[in-house]
Amino acid sequence: MEFFGDSVLGMIIAEHLFNHFPDWDQGTLSKAKATVVQEAPLAEAALALGLEEYLNVAPSERLADSRIRPSILADAFEAVVGAIFVEQGLPIARWFVLERLHPYLEQVSRGEIGVGDYKSKLQEIAQAKWRKTPLYRVSTEQGSAHEKIFSVDVVLDGEVMGLGGQGRSKKEAEQAAAKDAIELISRAEAFNSFRLRL
């Protein structure tokens, strides 16, 4: 159901953005969609619904403070969207999604696009600075089929920039690796700027 709900959710948000922001180009629309349909907003929406009370998860799916991992909560929200679509149809599913994700849609309407989407940010930096595209490669997979942890490296122009970003999904690990790469680039720029001032 999570697989199905993911597609329904993406379609509803894409339709909403297309109808409400006709002047935005494809790149901006894609970034806006990724801003809304990502782990953090979906996990927060799941928490607001109280879904964590109905999830029975293995200890490994909990954080150090016993909270359920955001990726699991996001999946649960997508599953609910899929179930609503199956039981009630598209109009009710659309109302539910737009109601629950309204704060994040308001955010993108104010131009706050790409928040938390480190892969998109890294892509923009890499294109602007080096006209290169970052490549992501899985370095390790650990754990059983139901409890896998992925480690991902991000490579730019043959050089590893983000090392060992970890997550319960490849997508989550890629975001972690991209964040590491952005931080490395920022530190390098700050260091070079400091040297120039000496």
List the catalytic residue out of 39, 75, 78, 174. Answer: 78
Say what angle helices 70-88 and 39-49 make with each other, to 10 degrees: 70
23 is catalytic: no
The pair of three-digit structure tokens given for residue 75, joined into one six-digit string: 């999946």
List the catalytic residue out of 6, 44, 172, 180. Answer: 6
Nearest to 96 by CA among 52, 24, 30, 42: 42
112 is catalytic: no
Q: Are 151 and 166 in contact (CB under 8 A)?
A: yes
Q: Are 169 and 151 in contact (CB under 8 A)?
A: no
Say what angle helices 102-109 and 90-100 make with each other, to 10 degrees: 70
Q: Which sequence positions are flagged as catalytic? A: 6, 78
